Structure formats: structure tokens, C-alpha cells
Amino acid sequence: MSEDAVKVMKQQVGKAAADLVKSGSIVGLGTGSTTAYAIQYIGERLQNGDLQDIKGIPTSFQARVLAKQYGIPLTSLDEVDRIDIAIDGADEVDPQKQLIKGGGAAHTQEKIVDSLAEQFVVVVDESKIVEKLNLGFLLPVEVLPMAMTPVMQKIEALGGKTTLRMGVKKAGPVVTDQGNLVIDVKFDNGIDNPAELEKTLNNIPGVLENGLFVNVADVVLIGEVKDGKPTVRQM
């Protein structure tokens, strides 16, 4: 599949998600390449008058920068009593709409915003659809720096292989927007019970949040390229 086809597909999925936003909404703005197009199209709808009175709540520094770039006014969780819709990507989606997120190390803020949203719309391309979570993509766990070693030991005892996520073009580990570290976890046979594992991991002292999003997604929009033409289908 050509890079151009992939780009057009991501744009179409982003646009399909942006089209679900209604005037007067508080919108959770997610992180990642496909969501970036959704933010762009929300901005365009605001500029051309198709949308009015929108406020965005960003889930990451990246989302904040894009929202400003495309003229979406921002607010915070302290200022609002609801989020009408959140749009965000995912690294894996299983048939029950359970997700792994956190490839961009923003999953803690994303989970706070996406879980609060009345409607959580996931935008992905077909490569992210899997039969079972964690067979292909590592599960990120955000951890306080001082707790890194004991947390890794506890996760290993649960059967997970752990690696500390290291920076690219940066010496040393990835540091999240909250100033924490990310441990990437692999279970050999994937994750059998995402709901149970999500709770178990979050109960380990020093863990802030993990990348399992269980029973959070409402709508999954999937971009595909069929016969060279980009299409969007809903799961």
C-alpha cells in the first residue's frame, strides 16, 4: 500500500470522526497521526462556520499544540462538567472493542478524558484490528520513577516480560507528560482477560495507569484501502 493511500485513508477516518462532532460540544482531543487529522478537520469546520461553540480538552502536549494550530479553543477538566465526545486512536482493537493504547506514552491523560466522554470514538486503520490483545503490540504501563524496579518485578511475577521504554533521538528513557517512566509489557499468549489485568496492574503500588482501555470505546471507525480506494467502516 502506498504512503499516499495510507495518508488519504487516515485523513478520511479523521474526517469521519470530526463529522460526528456537534456544535456546542466539549470535545476530548486525542493523540496520534489519525487523530491529528480529526483535530485538523474540527478546526476547518469551525473556520467555515459549520461548527460553533466548541471547546477542546487535549489528552497530550501534541494534541494541545495541534488544537492551537487549527484554532480550536481549549478548556480543562476543572472548567467543565462533561465531555460530549472524545476522538482518539488506538494501537490495538479486539473484537470486543477493547483497546491497547499508549504507543505515544500519553495513555494516562487519554484514559482520563476518553473514559469521561459520553461518546468515545476510536479512529484506526485496519492494521490495528486484532483477534487478541498484546500478541503484536506491547502493553504500556506508566510508573513512578522510584517504583520502576519493584513494579517490573511484580509484573514479571504475573508472567509478563518487561522492558523500560527508551527514548528515540534522546539518551535515556522516555519520560511522559507527567514526568514518569513507561514499562512495556509482553505476555507470551496475549491477554486473556483485559478487564482483570487492567485492575491487577493498576493495583501495583507505583503504577499510575496502564494502556488497557476496557469497555471505554463506543464507536470504532476503521480505515481500509480496498481496490486502491480508501474507505471507512464502522465496527
pLDDT in tens, the chain (235 residues): 678 888 999 999 999 999 999 999 999 999 889 999 999 999 999 999 999 999 999 999 999 999 999 999 999 999 999 999 999 999 999 999 999 998 888 899 999 999 999 999 999 999 999 999 999 999 999 999 999 999 999 999 999 999 999 999 889 999 998 999 999 999 999 999 999 999 999 999 999 999 999 999 999 999 998 888 889 999 9
pLDDT for the residue numbered 4: 85
Q: What is the CA radius of gyration of the chain?
A: 18
pLDDT for the residue numbered 228: 81
Cα separation, 174 vs 102, in Å, equals 12
> What are the DSSP calls for the chain, one per residue?
--HHHHHHHHHHHHHHHHTT--TT-EEEE--SHHHHHHHHHHHHHHHTTSS-S-EEEESSHHHHHHHHHTT--B--TTT-S-EEEEEE--SEE-TT--EE--TTS-HHHHHHHHHHEEEEEEEEEGGGB-SSTTSSSPEEEEE-GGGHHHHHHHHHHTTEEEEEPBPSSSSSB---TTS-EEEEEEETT--S-HHHHHHHHHTSTTEEEESEE-S--SEEEEEEEETTEEEEEE-
Region for residue 2 given its phi and psi (left: phi exceeds 0; alpha: psi -120 to 50; beta: otherwise): beta
pLDDT for the residue numbered 99: 98
pLDDT for the residue numbered 6: 86
pLDDT for the residue numbered 180: 97
Question: Is 3 one of the catalytic residues?
Answer: no
Choosing from 3, 44, 79, 110, the catalytic residue is: 110
Q: The pTM is what?
A: 0.94
Cα separation, 55 vs 83, in Å, equals 10
